[in-house]
Amino acid sequence: MTTTEATSLLTAEDLLRLHSEGGRGELIRGVLCETMASGQRHGKIVMNLGSELRAFIKPGRLGTLVGSDSGVWLEHDPDTVREPDIAFTSADRLPLGEDVDGYAEVVPDLVVEVASPGDSRRAMNDKARMWLSHGVRLVWVVHPGTRTVDVHLVDGAVSTLGGDGFLDGGDVLPGFSCALNDIFDA
């Protein structure tokens, strides 16, 4: 992620305009941090896990599932808009059928971040803690290189799953379970 130099702070509205002009990035306290495409393996993992989540969430009408381009507006004045790779917001937090033009201001219940090739484990753990500090209840950080997933809980507990393990939705998505191999191999 590269930070661009700016003489003045940008707003969430500025970021939406930039996206409509083909720009890509997140806004962190008014500063644009450009993002780049993360590669095919990254996209494949996002689609695999997103498909598993959608197959569980949609039939039960449990909430809204979105991809990274949707963005979440976390802070105002200066504005922070972050783009998780996948986000689930329960129907309790965001009623079904409520269309949001622009960035959601409702914090998701679950955030999934897939590490890009240049992302350190520490940076990804810091990002997970950032999400939790804003009210996200569960964060999964997927590490393609090691084929592991770090599970971050609100209480600060972190566990790492690997091998033939299973990812479960805990209290956020009770009953959801997905084999790690289905995320990495499908």
Residue 3: pLDDT above 60?
Answer: no
Predicted pLDDT at 6: 43
CA distance 62 to 171: 13
- Name the residue ranges covered by the structural domains of the chain: 38-185
Task: Tell me the pTM.
Answer: 0.88
88 neighbors 110 (Cβ within 8 angstroms): yes
Residue 116: pLDDT above 50?
Answer: yes
Predicted pLDDT at 8: 87
Structure tokens at 28: 């962190």
Least confident of 7-16, 59-68, 135-144: 7-16
Name which residue leads in pLDDT, 93 or 23: 93
What is the dihedral sign for C-alpha 119, 23, 183, 138? positive
Instruction: Say whether domain 38-185 belongs to CATH 3.90.1570.10.
Output: yes
**Three-point CA angle 58, 125, 142, nearest 5°:** 45
Predicted pLDDT at 91: 96
Structure tokens at 142: 């997927």
CA distance 71 to 69: 6
Dump pLDDT digits (tens) for 128-164.
999 999 999 999 999 999 999 999 999 999 999 999 9
